[in-house]
Amino acid sequence: MPPAIELENLRKVFRVRGRAHGISGSVRALFAPTTREVVAVDDVSFAIEPGERVAFVGPNGAGKSTTLKVLSGILQPSAGRVRVLALEPGRERTKLAFRIGAVFGQRSQLWSHLPAADTFDLLARIYELAPADYRQRRAELVASFEIAEVIEKPVRQLSLGERMRCELVASLLHRPEILFLDEPTIGLDVVAKATIRDLLRERGRRDGCTLLLTSHDTGDMEGVCERVLVIHRGRLLLDRPIEALRKSFIPMKRISVVTEEAEVHVGLPGVRRLPSRPHRTELEVDLALIGVDRVVAAIVAGARVLDLSVEDPPMEEIVTAIYRGAAPVEGRK
Amino acid sequence: MSGARLAVSTQKYLAIARASARRAFAERAVLAGRVVFLGVILFIFSRIWETVLARGALTVSGAGKAELIWYLAVTEWCVLSVPPVFLAIESDVRSGDIACRLVRPVSYVGAQLAEALGETALRLLVLGPTGAAIAFALAGGWPADPWGLLLAAPLGALASALAVLSTAAIGLSAFWIVDTSPIYWIWQKLAFVLGGLLLPLELYPDWLRALARFSPFPAMLWGPGRMAFGFAPGAALETLLELLAWSALVAAGLAWLANRARLRLTVNGG
């Protein structure tokens, strides 16, 4: 089976009009406008297999949205080869549109003055769904996303979390083989984010749908995806499974221990005490120097432990380190 | 395109138009505002016509106060039934919402036109009877030959459709210039003046009337409006042919602009 998404040396260049200074500059620009080229995506290559759930992360202006727009046929590539479901998106946009879905967290595809159910009916027409098939699919998704109570209310009266669940149902009605998600949890509270992530992961598994998700929230990446692509300044910095990313870029573990004693002292090389509170000690362990098991054994030997947890540093820190150009752990050794 | 494919495609755009009409109906305050505006305009001009005609300062052959009020009712009905599609397109381009719409298996411009025409249809249906009721009350009855109004109805609907096409083309200029309002402002003022929104073209100087006939505006306003002066199938046919010709021309221009706009999007970014 061919990859769901295949990019080879994708390059996208935009022409941007130069800014003129002063009134005379503005008048000159009117008759002789100057333009400069901005490379939004530069020599990016990757392939995504059917059913994979992939996070596409990067800071603002990294080229994520441009790549997504090229993949969905909205923008034409300046150079390189792009295949989505074996189609050329720029030339076969309408054909491709029947097989992909898209959710843009900051934009709505629902008609705000009408109930979401009306938009669903309209989308069924647009995607040419057979009435019986549409009714069955809609019932299944409405139950799965628990939106039966809200789909008859005008969309403008819904909470952001309810609206986002309706947006997802709207984009899944036609059983897309690929779902592009651009910041699907932006602005949501913690509970709503967790719900959306669970639903996306579950739906991806159940439908076998390929997910490509862009987000600034590393929780989305961890909660939904199994692989991550990191892009920065238009170039692909990293492509690996989430777990491997953790292992490669996590030289440290954090141990949090609650004891009857006010403080715990572990005099071992590679163990650093972080700012702590009485009875609750935070330690950072350098895995290159010592194993977590030895540190835990030392803690238990020296104090009466009430609670203990071992954690990785937040994914946010890992991704930031990648943007800054940190080499993976194995690379540093 | 095969017949079956064309039917499916047409149904899509009809579904968009229906949804748009439902949305416009849900925004009742906007509709009510248009009805009130129509009432105010007709009231003011009914008083003006009364004074002007009483002094004998103005004569339009075959037209008294009632006919002039009905003329204005028809032209304002055409104008007020057209939603600001140019603003919808401009907003999509400015905000980037256009990306959301381009991932669907429908033409962006086609969908925008379907939305605007759906809303236009609803406005025509609401403003038609209410405008007629207001005109009837202010004019003290029907025009001398009311059968012409039967011809004004389809001509007015077609004229509104031509206005939708034209303003959609103005909206597409957002791909080149950020703010389309100045272009719309010029277009609207030309339509009002050259189209004869307030005064029938019969009252214009010859040179201005001749100049106006080179533009689509007389067909959009004066053509349907003059049906209030009497049942004139010949004049109605002339207006119909002009409306069809201008619609074809503007539609071709719109298609050309849409292609250029797509190229512009891909070259200069979303």
Q: What is the pLDDT of residues A51-87, one digit of tens each?
A: 999 999 887 788 888 899 999 998 889 999 999 999 9
Please tell me whether residues A164 and A293 are part of one structural domain. no
Burial of A201 by CB count in 10 Å (0-12 exposed, 13-18 middle, 19+ buried)? middle
> Which residues on A lie below 8 Å from B15 (Cβ)?
121-122, 125-126
Identify whether A320 is part of a domain. Answer: no
How would residue A240 be classed by pLDDT, with cut points 50, 70 and 90?
A: confident
B7-12 LR contacts (CB < 8 Å, sep 24+): B8/A128, B11/A125, B12/A125, B12/A126, B12/A128, B12/B106
Phi, then psi, of A273 in degrees rounded to 5: -85, 125
CB-defined contacts A:B, below 8 A:
83
Identify whether A120 is part of a domain. Answer: yes
Please tell me whether residues A242 and A257 are part of one structural domain. no
Cβ-Cβ contacts under 8 Å for A119 (sequence gap 6 or more): A109, A110, A111, A155, A166, A170, B19
**B61 at A interface, C-beta within 8 A:** no
Cα B185 to Cα A322: distance, rounded to the nearest angstrom: 52
> Which residues on B lie below 8 Å from A76 (Cβ)?
266
Please tell me whether residues A239 and A257 are part of one structural domain. no
Please tell me whether residues A163 and A291 are part of one structural domain. no
Length of chain B: 270
Residues 172-191 of B with CB under 8 A from A: none
Counting Cα atoms < 13 Å in the Cβ hemisphere of B250 gives 23
Q: What is the DSSP letter of B1?
A: -
The CATH number of the domain holding residue A100 is 3.40.50.300
Indicate if the alpha-carbon torsion angle A155, A158, A160, A163 is positive or negative: negative
Boundary-marking domain end, from A218, A246, A274: A246
Identify whether A322 is part of a domain. Answer: no
Cα B102 to Cα B194: distance, rounded to the nearest angstrom: 37
Please tell me whether residues A216 and A281 are part of one structural domain. no
Query: Of the spans A64-73, A185-194, B179-188, B256-265, which averages the highest pLDDT?
Result: B179-188
Q: What is the pTM of this model?
A: 0.83
Please tell me whether residues A66 and A140 are part of one structural domain. yes
**Is the per-residue pLDDT at A331 higher than 50?**
no
Note down the domain range covering A218: 5-246
Mean pLDDT across B168-175: 94
The CATH number of the domain holding residue A262 is 3.30.70
Cα B151 to Cα A136: distance, rounded to the nearest angstrom: 47
Please tell me whether residues A161 and A132 are part of one structural domain. yes
CB contact under 8 A, A74 and B265: yes
Mean pLDDT across B6-25: 93
Reduce the DSSP state of residue A249 to 3 states and report it: helix
- Annotate B201-233 with b (16+ C-beta within 10 A) or e (fewer): beebeeeebeebeeebbbbbbbbbbbbbbbebe
Chain A residue closest in CA terms to B267 = A14
**Is the per-residue pLDDT at A98 higher than 90?**
yes
Identify whether A255 is part of a domain. Answer: yes
Mean pLDDT across A241-253: 77
Boundary-marking domain end, from A246, A261, A283: A246
CB A161 within 8 A of CB A188: yes
CB A46 within 8 A of CB A57: no
CB contact under 8 A, A66 and B269: yes
> Nearest CA to A104 among B104, B200, B243, B129?
B104
Which is more confident, B132 or B177?
B132
**Is the per-residue pLDDT at A329 higher than 70?**
no
Identify whether A294 is part of a domain. Answer: yes
Boundary-marking domain end, from A246, A275, A300: A246
Please tell me whether residues A109 and A82 are part of one structural domain. yes
Identify whether A330 is part of a domain. Answer: no
The kind and range of the H/E element at A15 are strand A5-17
Identify whether A324 is part of a domain. Answer: no
Please tell me whether residues A242 and A255 are part of one structural domain. no
**A102 at B interface, C-beta within 8 A:** yes
**A144 at B interface, C-beta within 8 A:** no
Reduce the DSSP state of residue A76 to 3 states and report it: coil
CB contact under 8 A, B22 and A114: yes
Please tell me whether residues A187 and A237 are part of one structural domain. yes
Number of domains in chain A: 2
Cβ-Cβ contacts under 8 Å for A36 (sequence gap 6 or more): A15, A16, A18
Length of chain A: 333
Please tell me whether residues A39 and A153 are part of one structural domain. yes
**Is the per-residue pLDDT at A137 higher than 80?**
yes
Q: Mean of the per-residue pLDDT values for chain A?
A: 86
**A127 at B interface, C-beta within 8 A:** yes
Please tell me whether residues A238 and A267 are part of one structural domain. no
Identify whether A145 is part of a domain. Answer: yes
